Each structure stands twice: as C-alpha cells, then as structure tokens.
Chains A and B, each alone.
Chain A
Amino acid sequence: MAYDPDDLRRLEARRCAAIAAGDLASLADVLAGDYLHVLAPGRVCDKAGYVEMIGRSPRSPKRGALRVRLYGDAAIVEGELENSIGAAGEVSRVIPAYCTQVAAYRDGAWRFVSYILTQKRPPRAA
C-alpha cells in the first residue's frame, strides 16, 4: 500500500492542536497503545503517563517543516519543535528543540508509537 507523507504531517498537526487545546481524548486518539515518550531530561513515559502529564502541564507545540520517511507500514517524522510552556496567555518559557517520532499504520489509521525530544543547547566548549 502506498501512503501519502502528508498524512503523517496531518497526524502531527492533530497532535499539536490537541495538546494546545488541552483535548486529552483527541491526543490519546493519535497515540498507539504501546506509545513510548522520551522527555527532554531522558525520562521515559508510556501513553497514560504522557497524556496525564499534558493534562497537568499545559503547553503549545509549534512545528517547522517536517521530514517524513516511509518504510512499509511505518514512518519516521522529524523536525524542529518549539514548545511554549503554560496555558494560552500565560506562557512561562519557550523551549526550542528537535523531535523524532515514529508512527505505525494499524487497524486503518496512522498513530504515533514513539517520540524523543532533545532541547537545543549551545555545544560545550572544547
């Protein structure tokens, strides 16, 4: 089956919109049951833990151009991400980062199965 890379970009747009709206049901819908999320400090959480974290820590992710690579029924999605932390109108900080995600097509839909975020930092002095 030939897939459209833009389907993955739309999936990520739905994820970002759900997070910004605090819509946890829509967020859960774009994540697979075995979803694994790697937070910037290297802490790993599962789907339930991630959705719960978003519920108590509002934010709004903004993506740049996304590179999508398809391999059978799975895909790699990657690109810049800017996380505005805090509820709308109460943003406390903006974190620039880079994000790689993996999605899988199962039961007639694409869903994310994993995610890693790395906060952008200046390189260490030599």
Chain B
Amino acid sequence: MDDAQVVLALEQRRCAAIGAGDTATLRALLTDDYAHVHMTGATDDCAGHLRAVSERPREVIRGELTVRVYGELAVLTGQQINRSRSADGSVTDVTAFCHQVAVKVGEDWRFASGQLTPMAT
C-alpha cells in the first residue's frame, strides 16, 4: 500500500473504533499532541476528544475522501456524517466537512489533527 492508501485505512479504523466505542483503539490512532476542533469551534486535546467520544456514542459515516501526501504529513478531506441514536431509537444525523492531518510516527501514520465544520444542507 502507498501512503495515501495507508491513511485511508487509518481513517477506516478510526471510524470503526468510534462506532464501537473502543477508545483504547482510537487512542492508538492519535498522536499524543492530537488536536480536535468540534463543529462549534471548541477545541479538545487527545484526552478530551476520547472523553467526548465515550460520553456521546456515535457512528461516523464518511463519503468520498481525498488524500494529499506531503512527505511525513498527509491531509485527508471529505464529508462526514455523525449519526447518533436516542433511547427511543430515533436517529439524528449531523453533516459536516472534515479536515484531518495524519503524520508519520516512526513507521506508522497517526492523526495529529481533526477539524469539523457544519455543512449547509
């Protein structure tokens, strides 16, 4: 696999980890200095992001993704739907555009940044 394919596989693992509420796996995919920007413009560090995922279960659905690689850094962009289910079974979808930055840590790629901005639907 080339670097772009590795980063796409990393994103698949991230989405699967969030959907499963598996914050241990999610943690392993993020750098220690990971920075997350929510759709409200509020920011979180790695620990804060893991806490948010744990407290608010969701399914992450991605559309077509674009990956651009700049040596040890890659930019991944595309639409993201955050799907949550309430106790009565109703489903709420929130659509955003997501800009992620993955970086090479040793032989592995990890996400160093993720930022969402709500899409006008």
A residues touching B (Cβ–Cβ < 8 Å)?
Answer: 34, 36, 38-44, 67, 69, 71-76, 78, 96-98, 100, 102, 104, 113-114, 116-124
Contact = CB atoms under 8 A, between A and B. Distances in A.
27 contacts: A34-B68, A36-B75, A39-B117, A40-B117, A41-B118, A42-B117, A42-B119, A43-B120, A71-B71, A71-B104, A73-B71, A74-B70, A76-B101, A97-B41, A98-B37, A98-B41, A102-B70, A102-B75, A114-B68, A114-B77, A114-B99, A118-B41, A118-B115, A118-B117, A119-B41, A119-B117, A120-B42
A72 B104 CA distance: 10
Contacts of B115: 98, 100, 116, 118
Nearest to B97: A42
B40 interface: yes
Contacts, number: 108
Nearest to A39: B117
Interface of B: 33, 35, 37-43, 66, 68, 70-73, 75, 77, 79, 95-97, 99, 101, 103-104, 112-113, 115-120
